[in-house]
Amino acid sequence: MTSEKRKVEVCFSPALFEDFKNESAIVVIVDILRATSAIVTAFMNGVRRIIPVATLDEAMTYKKQGFMVAAERDGLVRDFADFGNSPYNFRRDVIEGQDIVYSTTNGTQSIMMAKDCYRILIGSYLNISALAGYIAGEKRDLIILCAGWKNKFNLEDTLFAGALAREVIARGNHATVCDSTYASIDLWNLAKDDLLEYIDKAAQRHRLKKNNLDDVIGYCHTMNLTTIIPVLEKDYLVILN
């Protein structure tokens, strides 16, 4: 790594993030199945703001104030909420121009955890190249924070981390000396030619299948449907200008 290059690191779990923290870094939050794919979709479909909250109690408080609320735990929509965590819930006719409060098992906690860093972006395959282009231009250290599953490592977030790291590094301003970045890139290279077949063994795919929620897996692994990048501004997400 030449000294002027910025570094790329991958953090496999929110429980490890403390040891990565770097307030001048850009952090990309990744929860491919399904929170960050759903958030990008919501902005594609015209949502105005998304307010991520870590707990169901906070989501419920917002609901009582009249907000539209998306909330799930363990893949299942909570009964007080308007809808859950499927990107298919965030339809233009329902959400256009709205502010939505959002709480999920893993994804929204990761967003809150990173909030003291320089910039928090939402990553998914749907916006991967726009994201890589923006990050390469910013010339700051990059931390890719995988939301995982209840603090455990997961394959689908790791593969995306590898794909993004590779694309950012290929643009020439970044490099890595981080073992988790190497592992992510190697797993991505192994999986990329038949991504859905590889994902077939991931635990989260089986969890979704059990609840008949696996209809979104193909969609969540579709590349570059948009150039929109959601960014955290104060306490809510908006589209990065």
Task: Evaluate the CA torsion angle 126, 132, 133, 138 in order and state its sign.
Answer: positive
Query: What is the smallest separation between the CB atom of 28 and a second copy, expressed in angstroms?
Result: 17
Q: Does 192 bind a second copy (CB under 8 A)?
A: no
Query: What is the smallest separation between the CB atom of 32 and a second copy, expressed in angstroms?
Result: 12
Query: What is the smallest separation between the CB atom of 1 and a second copy, expressed in angstroms?
Result: 11
- φ, ψ (nearest 5 deg) of residue 127: -130, 25
Q: Does 164 bind a second copy (CB under 8 A)?
A: no
Q: What is the DSSP secondary-structure string of 161-228?
A: HHHHHHHHHHTSSEE---HHHHHHHHHHHHHGGGHHHHHTT-HHHHHHHHTT-GGGHHHHT---S---
Q: Considering only residues 140-159, where is the footprint of a second copy by CB under 8 A?
A: 149-155, 158
The DSSP secondary-structure symbol of 241 reads: -
The DSSP secondary-structure symbol of 98 reads: -
* Cβ atoms 33, 208 nearer than 8 A: yes
With contacts defined by CB under 8 A, name the span among 66-74, 76-84, 128-136, 185-193 that binds a second copy: 185-193
Please report where in the chains the tokens 């009964």 appear, as a residue: 79
Among 86, 180, 220, 232, binds a second copy (CB under 8 A): 180
Query: Which residues lie closer than 8 Å to 219 by C-beta, 6 or more apart?
Result: 37, 87, 88
Q: Does 195 bind a second copy (CB under 8 A)?
A: no
Q: Does 223 bind a second copy (CB under 8 A)?
A: no
- Interatomic CA distance for residues 193 and 174, integer angstroms: 25
Binding mask 89-128 for a second copy (x = CB under 8 A): ----------------------------------------
Both tokens of residue 210?
A: 């059990």
Q: Does 177 bind a second copy (CB under 8 A)?
A: yes
Binding mask 36-75 for a second copy (x = CB under 8 A): ----------------------------------------
Could you list the residues that contact a second copy (CB under 8 A)? 12-13, 15-16, 19, 149-155, 158, 177-180, 182-183, 186-187, 190, 201-204, 206
